[in-house]
Structure 1
Amino acid sequence: MRNGLLALLLLVVLIPIGCKDDTTDPIDQPTPTTSPTQLMEWLEQLGAVIRATNTSGEEASRILAYSSIAYYEGYQLNSESMRSLVGQLQGLDVLPQPDANLTYNFGIVAEAAMYTVLDEMYANAPTNIRLVLSSTYDGHERAYLINGLSESLIDRSREFGQALGNAILDWSATDGFDQMSNCAVSVPSGPFDWATTPPTFAGPKYACWGDLRAFTFTQDQLIVLCHPGIPENVDTTSGSDYFNEVLEVNEIGDNLNPGEVEIARFWNDGNGTYTVPGHYISILRQLVQQNLLNGEESVTAYAQLCIAMADTYISTYKLKYTYWRPRPLTSIQQTVDMNWNSEMDNPLTPEYPSMRSTMAFAATQVFINLYGDIEVKDNTYSSILGIDERIFTSFTAMGEEAAYSRIYAGTNLRTTIESSEYHGRCIAQRANELFFTE
């Protein structure tokens, strides 16, 4: 077990709570709920769990989406201004409601709901990994008890949170994920289609991910709404627009300076790291730590970001496996230099659209809508990759660096990244337009 992961198990925050155990109190009695500090701890633990279990980015996006929605739905029950996402997200038609004659602590409800989802979705993880999740929840619950809440109130709140979490799990069970293992895909084999790439030469990854039920799109809308445009034809004739773009990737890759290599590594988010969604969760954790938003706003930010990231994966994969575009590496080796290799290993997916670039624009647009286009720092990989904290003048600058880092990585063409900006910002807007407040 990594030292950092073990250290996280020791995190316990004392929560200033006071709530009498009177079952006749009205449900709208003001009761303190989970704080930004607690959310920050959960985000830190989730990043550690994603890394330690080598959870794929695709699956991490799904886990984060459902768990954040469970957290949000428990939290919003204590707010006069927040609004449930029931009826707003695809397939989420009903959730349990608390007994109006009983008193609850909705901080416990929110955490119990999220923990219920996480515990089930990591049911096959090693015991020590599951202990990270259970210890986080148990530590927070003990703090409520230490600070004066009665055991009966805690028990009642936990039980309702578990019911809420189980309802979210029932909803998740209908999104098509169970069929992923039976995904049957016909890989095209034309000269201008996607082909396997070194070093693994493995087949296409998660080719049916685009068939999952999205959160803010119907299945029909996945192709129509937020479409980044039909990619240009693959034409490897010398002097063609496509060939010139391929040549640009080749020439840049042959002349990378150390700073450009660092940028490519920082935003690669490959196996054994936080993954792409885990990286943006880490950025959110750093923002929450700065106390820029209150509790309600932080919980809303968590749900908005995770919904946008999950839909980014689903939308981009739907399009990737519609167009089956080859990676630049394939075209370079066929036409320019058969021994050329990219700085970073190519994802096992078609090139267009770029998931990482789309995600960069989607995530930073969510941040802009919540925080404004402020200066931002990111120390996500300071410890595990030894890359110094990166400082950006704005979220816009961060998104552009993350998106265009794929040229340095050698995995995407410039026009693909340019098209990804509209795609990502449009997906973010779908999440931002949800009615999180009355």
Structure 2
Amino acid sequence: MRKLYYLIYILPLAVLISCSKDLPTELAYENYVFSSTDEDGGNWTPILLSSGSEIMIAEPKETSSAEYQAELMEVKNAIASITSQQKENLKKWTNNPVIRWNEIALELIAKYNLIPGPNEDGSYTLPNPANPEGPPVFPFSHPPYASRALAYMSVAQFDGLISAWHYKYKYNRAAPYLQDLEINHAYEENPIPSYPSDGAVIASASAEILKVMFPLEVEYLNSKMSEHLESLLLSGENVQSDIDGGVKIGEEIAALALTRASTDGMKNAQTSKAVSDSIANAAYERFGWMWINQEAPQRPVGLTPLFGKVKMWSVPNVEAIRPPVPPTPGSPAYEEDVKILKGYLAEHSEEYRRIANFWQDGLGTYTPPGHWNEFANAFIVKNKLNTLRAARTMAYMNMAIMDAGISCWDAKYYYHYPRPIQTIEGFETIASTPNFPSYTSGHSVFSAAGAEVLAYIFPDEADKVRGWAKEAAISRVYGGIHWTFDATVGTTQGINAAQYSIDRAKIDGGDNF
């Protein structure tokens, strides 16, 4: 029955997005008229800030002032001398740069998702943030690292834009192209005040977060920020003081986010061998089993054994959603799963292989959390969300995904359950076996969490995204690297984690769309 349970839920992947996995990914879309402007957005409840007014910016100059008129002339002169490259940049950044900065983050995650190899003597050296050039380079952007980078960037964007919306509607300064009809406007008209620039908030906050998460990319990120800020001026939507106000908000909210990050426990997630062994031994004393890495050469420590102790965003503690004890090896429930896995292996189904490969999200990709960010980008465009609503979507989804990942890693190392390749004699996989315990499946947990938040924000897509999450979960069983209970229990775990973020979103003031 368990096999049938999965098969009846497998849905075809929609043509909504192209997931060829060629990276970097960039969604092709034109700028659009927003489906809402959310004049009350400055009153929404932020994540890190106490309110939208907590970050202070100066009152803008009157539009009739000499200072502002000079800024308008600066915009007109810049547009008059625009280059072909600047025109291309304008098309790329569009009027919802939340998506573009998310894609930059996905590009960097994929670039640094390279596992450190062994040294000549067979030992391993871990990436070190104090020496990012390595070898090996820092970071190794594995799924837990990716989920954390995306969560901090998205939360900073969201809080920064709540602050921006507060001042936009407090001062109500119209965009330059509305002040002077000689100024060409590059994008669709959206009647949102220009001071401070929401684009500048996004550029500044995103770049500051990513520069810490990917320290070898500072020059690249600074160039992207400069390109984006220049495009804001050339678009006719902002004068320099709009941009300066947005940059100030972005820098301040990024600093708050990075302060939280510095004490969230991630720096201790990758442990020494002694600590790793003690965690394994504790599980063995508790349950009578432990996971053993099957690689050759064998890495001495599993991936981030203490990620399960990292500070969560919305879930009160990992015990609140810790899954039940998995089946004891040799028990009837375990033997039933052995038969199911052997059955999949014997079938050699092309469909199973396609599903396993599509959802692999292994080394050199943007990982499972990144996969769900790509889905979210497409839904944001389809529903024509403004920058504030786009950032809200990403913040709650990525907080849920990170919380779910923390819960998953807690279960992995608390139960320390062996993978099929360890306990089924002669068993083979069609997917590479990860360097951490089996129960629960990270793909299942990450995907279920992402799907639940997207189902809440985009209810018309609920069946679709939940079907994708179930396919992501079963893909790991088809690949031979997980038990079916890793996937089924992991899916429930991800849903439970996401519900805390959804409950938080329902009372933030933005649930009136």
Q: TM-score, normalised by structure 2?
A: 0.66
Amino acid in the other structure paired with 2:441: S
Q: Which residue in 2 is equivalent to 1:155?
A: 244
Counterpart of 1:372 in structure 2 is 459
**Aligned counterpart, 1:346:** 433
Aligned partners of 1:12 and 1:136 also within 8 Å = no
What pairs up with 1:49-198 in 2 under 5 angstroms? 49-54=108-113, 55-79=141-165, 104-123=196-215, 125=216, 129-146=217-234, 147=236, 149-183=238-272, 184-185=275-276, 186=278, 187-188=280-281, 192-198=289-295
In the other structure, the counterpart of 1:23 is 60
Q: C-alpha displacement at 1:14, in angstroms?
A: 12
Which residue does 1:286 correspond to in 2?
378
> Counterpart of 1:39?
98
1:378 alignment counterpart: none
Q: How many residues end up aligned between the 2 structures?
A: 371
**Cα shift at 1:176:** 1.2
* Distance (Å, rounded) in 2 between the aligned partners of 1:43 and 1:199: 36
The answer to whether the 8 A contact 1:250-1:332 is kept is no
Cα offset, 1:206, TM superposition? 0.8
CA gap 1:143/1:172 in 2 versus in 1, 3 angstroms = same
After superposition, the Cα gap between the structure-2 partners of 1:5 and 1:261, relative to the gap in structure 1 and judged at 3 Å, is: closer
Give the letter aligned to residue 163 of structure 2: L
Give the conservation status (yes or no) of the 8 Å contact 2:447–2:469.
yes
The 1:230–1:151 alpha-carbon spacing in structure 2 relative to 1, beyond 3 Å, is same
* Divergent runs of 4+, >6 A: 4-8, 11-16
Which residue does the alignment assign to 1:262? 354
User: Which amino acid is 1:67 matched to?
Assistant: M
Which of 279, 302, 310 aligns to 1:204? It is 302
What is the SS of the residue equivalent to 1:433?
helix
Residue 405 of structure 2: which of 313, 322, 334 is its match? 313
Residues 97 and 199 of structure 2 are in contact (CA less than 8 Å); yes or no, is this contact kept in structure 1? no
Deviations 1:312-362, CA, capped at 9 Å, x for gaps: 1111111111111111111112xxx3xx31111222111111111111211
Higher Cα Rg, which structure: 2
Residue in structure 2 matched with residue 420 of structure 1 by the alignment: 490
Task: Mark the runs of 5 or more structure 1 residues left unpaired by the alignment.
Answer: 27-33, 81-102, 376-392
Aligned residue for 1:172, secondary structure, equals helix
CA contact (8 A) 1:329 1:342 kept: yes
1:15-46 deviations in whole A, cap 9, x for unaligned?
A: 99xxxx963569xxxxxxx9763122122222
Structure 2 unpaired stretches of 5+: 1-21, 35-57, 64-92, 114-140, 167-194
User: Displacement, 1:140?
Assistant: 2.0
Aligned residue for 1:432? 502
SS in structure 2 of the partner of residue 374 of structure 1: helix
> Which position in structure 2 is the counterpart of 1:91?
none
User: 1:302: Cα distance to partner?
Assistant: 0.6
Do structure 1's residue 322 and structure 2's residue 414 form an aligned pair? yes
Query: What TM-score do the two structures reach when normalised by structure 1?
Result: 0.77
1:6 positional shift: 8.5
Distance 1:5 1:174 in 2: 32
Q: Which residue of 2 aligns with 1:411?
A: 481
User: Is contact 1:308-1:362 (8 Å) kept?
Assistant: yes
Q: Is the 8 A contact 1:361 1:400 kept in 2?
A: yes
Report the Cα offset of residue 233 of structure 1. 1.6
Distance 1:413 1:313 in 2: 18
AA aligned to 1:51 is: A
CA distance in 1, matches of 2:351, 2:467: 16
Q: Which amino acid aligns with 1:165?
A: A
Query: Which residue does 2:74 correspond to in 1?
Result: none
Distance (Å, rounded) in 2 between the aligned partners of 1:25 and 1:341: 71
Structure 1 pair 50/12, CA: closer, same or farther in 2 (3 Å)? farther
Deviations 1:33-68 (CA, angstroms, capped at 9, x unpaired): x97631221222222111112221111111111111
Q: Which amino acid aligns with 1:137?
A: M
Does residue 460 of structure 2 align to residue 401 of structure 1? Answer: no
* 8 A Cα contact 2:270 2:307, kept in partner: no
Deviation at 1:407, TM superposition (A): 1.1
Q: 2:182 matched to which residue of 1?
A: none
